[in-house]
């Protein structure tokens, strides 16, 4: 089969840890053809297409791919997205207007006959921060608001909170604010921008000391190992992009309870791959754009996460044969 991956510029991907590279390597190992394009290559002219190139993957993390055709990915021949057996959108946030526009184009590609994962409409409907609100039974005290007075009242009530933007990723624009923080006013002002920007505030969860766990759902089922991302000393953020250290570990009973509750619901909406963030016993995010941590779990446990994803993808494709 032919798989198209929508990626950030391939020269920017770090193959030794990149989840998209791990999936592409596994797909090639099964005999599938791997193609790629960038988000900006998507276009519509009678049908949704993109300039794509076919890649060959290697096991060398330094020189991990070669292009079959001459030229860079943006110079490949235009292809209709419906000509591929599956389109996997692995473009990282920010979820800005360009990302939103791409999701509209991908939705049209579905109407043209393309099979897109994760489903564009489902990605639009599940903000990665606000997605937890549907599952409030697993959520620590939380506020979503653009009103600075409400944010201050929440800090007064909870005394120790985390503030984060709704469109951030990788630990970007996350602040821990205590009741007596001398920078409290300026942090809140900067975050809500005078009431023009909604943010999320959550009670600080001490369990972060044991890691911010990434629990992966594939086809509605949990991967049996989570990756606990542990912050470096003196740092609140545990994200790997912020210098956190990843430690694979079996799912706890609560991890599994959360995963088994959310899994079938999210899968039924067209979310093949989801990354839940769990701190202590609390769900903190539902990541649906380009969930990561495959390589770390695979390397540390030997569990074939990429293989589990391809198994689930192949099952989905068989449901609607071409």
User: Which of these, 223, 310, 294, lies nearest to 21 by C-alpha position?
Assistant: 294
237 is catalytic: yes
164 is catalytic: yes
89 is catalytic: no
285 is catalytic: yes
Q: Considering 119, 277, 295, 296, which one is annotated as catalytic? A: 277
Q: Considering 115, 164, 203, 213, which one is annotated as catalytic? A: 164
Q: Per this entry, what is the length of the chain?
A: 322
- Provide the strand spans (E) within 8-141: 33-38, 42-44, 48-51, 53-57, 65-67, 78-80, 86-89, 116-117
- Alpha-carbon distance of 274 to 218, in angstroms, equals 7
- Alpha-carbon distance of 228 to 174, in angstroms, equals 18
214 is catalytic: yes
Q: Considering 229, 255, 295, 296, which one is annotated as catalytic? A: 229
Q: Considering 110, 118, 287, 295, which one is annotated as catalytic? A: 287
319 is catalytic: no
C-alpha dist (Å) from residue 248 to 133, 182, 258:
27, 37, 18
Q: Number of helices (H) and strands (E), helices first, in the chain? A: 8, 19
38 is catalytic: no
- Alpha-carbon distance of 67 to 192, in angstroms, equals 45
Residues 6+ apart with CB under 8 A from 103: 120, 121, 123, 124
Residues 6+ apart with CB under 8 A from 102: 6, 39, 42, 89, 91
Q: Considering 90, 129, 213, 295, which one is annotated as catalytic? A: 129
3-state secondary structure of 199: strand
Q: Considering 41, 237, 255, 295, which one is annotated as catalytic? A: 237
Q: Considering 41, 110, 212, 285, which one is annotated as catalytic? A: 285
90: burial class by Cβ within 10 Å (0-12, 13-18, 19+)? buried
C-alpha dist (Å) from residue 63 to 11, 14, 261, 298:
10, 10, 41, 21
157 is catalytic: no
Handedness of CA 317, 318, 321, 322 (dihedral sign): positive
Catalytic (active-site) positions: 129, 164, 214, 229, 237, 277, 285, 287
């Amino acid at each position: 089969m032919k798989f198209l991956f929508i990626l950030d510029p391939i020269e920017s991907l770090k193959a030794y840890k990149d989840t998209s590279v791990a999936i592409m390597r596994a797909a090639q190992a099964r005999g599938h053809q791997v193609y790629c394009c960038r988000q900006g290559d998507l276009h519509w002219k009678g049908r949704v297409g993109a300039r794509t190139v076919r890649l060959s993957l290697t096991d060398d993390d330094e020189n991990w791919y070669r292009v079959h055709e001459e030229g860079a990915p943006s110079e490949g021949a235009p292809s209709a997205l419906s000509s591929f057996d599956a389109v996997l959108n692995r473009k990282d946030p920010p979820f800005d207007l360009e990302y939103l526009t791409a999701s509209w184009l991908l939705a049209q590609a579905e109407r043209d006959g393309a099979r897109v994962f994760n489903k564009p409409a489902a990605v639009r409907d599940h903000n990665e921060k606000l997605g937890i609100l549907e599952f409030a039974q697993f959520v620590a005290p939380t506020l979503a608001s653009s009103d600075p007075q409400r944010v201050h009242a929440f800090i007064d009530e909870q005394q120790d909170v985390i503030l984060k933007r709704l469109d951030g990723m990788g630990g970007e624009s996350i602040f821990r604010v205590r009741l007596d923080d001398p920078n409290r006013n300026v942090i809140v002002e900067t975050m809500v921008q005078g009431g023009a920007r909604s943010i999320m505030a959550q009670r600080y969860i001490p369990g972060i000391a044991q890691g911010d766990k990434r629990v992966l759902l594939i086809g509605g089922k949990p991967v049996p190992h989570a990756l606990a991302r542990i912050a470096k000393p003196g740092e609140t953020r545990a994200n790997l992009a912020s210098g956190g250290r990843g430690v694979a570990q079996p799912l706890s009973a609560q991890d599994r309870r959360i995963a088994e509750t959310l899994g079938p619901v999210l899968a039924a909406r067209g979310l093949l791959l989801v990354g839940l963030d769990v701190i202590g016993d609390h769900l903190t995010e539902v990541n649906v754009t380009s969930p990561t941590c495959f390589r770390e779990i695979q390397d540390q446990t030997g569990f074939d996460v990429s293989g589990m994803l391809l198994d689930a993808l192949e099952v989905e494709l068989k449901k609607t044969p071409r």
